[in-house]
């Protein structure tokens, strides 16, 4: 079924986006867009530039060419921070703080959705009972879940998820898919990088395959 004609501009659209590091092309030029209620699955081998692409979109790196538009408008830092929730490789959690303290800090920094408590979010990602556990004592999978809780609380409509399935057990993969599904149902969008086709969320999905530039 073709998607219904949508008068609202896409959440994110990129034209001829490319990035080079030390004169070596890392990815691109690529064109793509993510509409509301849509997931864009970014696939590619190791080194194909999936993480770099997400970092460029999140504003952590500067593109060398091409344009990015959020909701039809050119990127400005304030707009970007409001639109994007980024789940990266580094969790940004302090080893000496408890799970709840970490979550409280990150939500204070990024803002959070009204009417949702930190404890609820922790229960959603299956960390109920771990509120007072220090981040250093948590497993990599549990830390990933804590990052997911932060994303779940974020008011941003567009999720950029870099390898969200890494370190997670089967139940965790299921959790990511459920979260993405719920987020898209509420009119959000998501961009998910993965190096395998396994575990794609059961939602309207576009595919972007990155290849290592010659």
Interface residues with other proteins (CB under 8 A) are 58-62, 78, 81-82, 84, 86, 88-97, 101, 104-111
For residue 73, list its beta bridge partners.
Answer: 70
Residue with Cβ nearer other proteins (107 or 125): 107
3-state helix, strand, coil in the chain (%, to 5): 30, 25, 40
Residue with Cβ nearer other proteins (19 or 43): 19
Residue 144 C-beta: closest distance to other proteins, Å: 13
DSSP string, 16-27: EEEEEETTEEEE
Residue 97 C-beta: closest distance to other proteins, Å: 6
Q: What burial class does residue 33 get, using C-beta atoms within 10 Å of its C-beta: 0-12 exposed, 13-18 middle, 19+ buried?
A: middle
Report the SS3 class of residue 33: strand
Residue with Cβ nearer other proteins (37 or 161): 161
Residue with Cβ nearer other proteins (43 or 110): 110
Sheet with 73-74: strands ordered across: 24-34, 12-21, 65-70, 73-74
Residue 101 C-beta: closest distance to other proteins, Å: 6
Residue with Cβ nearer other proteins (95 or 209): 95
Residue 37 C-beta: closest distance to other proteins, Å: 24
Residue 62 C-beta: closest distance to other proteins, Å: 7
């Amino acid at each position: 079924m073709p998607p219904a004609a949508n008068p609202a501009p896409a959440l994110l659209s990129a034209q001829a986006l490319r990035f080079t590091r030390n004169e070596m092309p890392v990815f691109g030029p690529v064109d793509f867009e993510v509409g509301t209620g849509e997931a864009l699955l970014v696939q590619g081998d190791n080194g194909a530039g999936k993480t770099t692409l997400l970092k460029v979109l999140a504003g952590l790196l500067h593109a060398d060419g091409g344009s990015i538009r959020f909701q039809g408008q050119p990127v400005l830092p304030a707009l970007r921070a409001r639109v994007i929730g980024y789940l990266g490789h580094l969790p940004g959690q302090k080893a000496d703080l408890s799970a709840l303290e970490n979550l409280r800090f990150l939500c204070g920094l990024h803002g959070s959705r009204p009417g949702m408590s930190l404890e609820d979010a922790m229960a959603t990602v299956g960390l109920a009972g771990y509120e007072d556990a220090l981040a250093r004592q948590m497993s990599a999978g549990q830390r990933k879940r804590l990052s997911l809780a932060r994303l779940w609380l974020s008011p941003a409509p567009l999720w950029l998820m870099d390898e969200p399935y890494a370190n997670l057990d089967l139940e965790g993969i299921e959790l990511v898919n459920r979260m993405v599904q719920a987020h898209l149902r509420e009119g959000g969008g998501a961009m998910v990088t993965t190096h395998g086709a396994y575990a794609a969320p059961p939602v309207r999905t576009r595919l972007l395959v990155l290849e290592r530039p010659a």
